[in-house]
Amino acid sequence: MRTIALTLVALLAATLVACGGGATTAAGPTVTVELIDFKFSPETVEVPAGQKVTLELRNKGSVEHDFTVEAIGLKAIVKAGQTATRVVGPFTAGTTYELVCTTAGHKESGMVGKLIVK
Ligand SMILES: [Cu+2]
């Protein structure tokens, strides 16, 4: 019985990691991005290379947004008025990733950006 419970916990943990794309315990420098209706501010998010980075994602809009970088498996959903944190990296200098909000219609409204590793 105990084995089954532990297996379930492990499966749940794996699922959470797969969905969240990044841990939530802060590490490294913090980079703050605001999610508003309907864009990221700044639209070009710069992160340092070679170390973990904590993304602090503040939804200042009136609807739910997400901060999605498909290339690194990151999708952080942030409800209106809330803040989410995700630890990402380390990244390689000179890399540029596409950033997008996958909520229906938001990308088309201009909610796109770039994540640039300096
Ligand atoms: Cu959005």
- For the chain, the structural domain boundaries read 2-117
- What is the structure's pLDDT at 24? 61
Domain 2-117 has CATH 3.40.50.2300: no
Written as six digits, the tokens of 17 are 């990691």
CA of 3 to the centre of ligand 1 (A): 41
How far apart CA 109 and CA 117 sit, in angstroms, is: 25
- Range 1-10 burial, b when 16+ CB lie within 10 A, else e: eeeeeeeeee
14 compared with 91, residue with greater pLDDT: 91
Amino acid at 92: T
Residues 45-87: pLDDT tens digits?
Answer: 999 999 999 999 999 999 999 999 999 999 999 999 999 999 9
- What is the structure's pLDDT at 16? 43
> Is 21's pLDDT higher than 90?
no
- What is the structure's pLDDT at 22? 58
CA of 4 to the centre of ligand 1 (A): 39
Confidence band, pLDDT 50/70/90 cuts, at residue 44 = very high
Residue 89 burial class via C-beta count within 10 angstroms: exposed 0-12, middle 13-18, buried 19 and up: buried
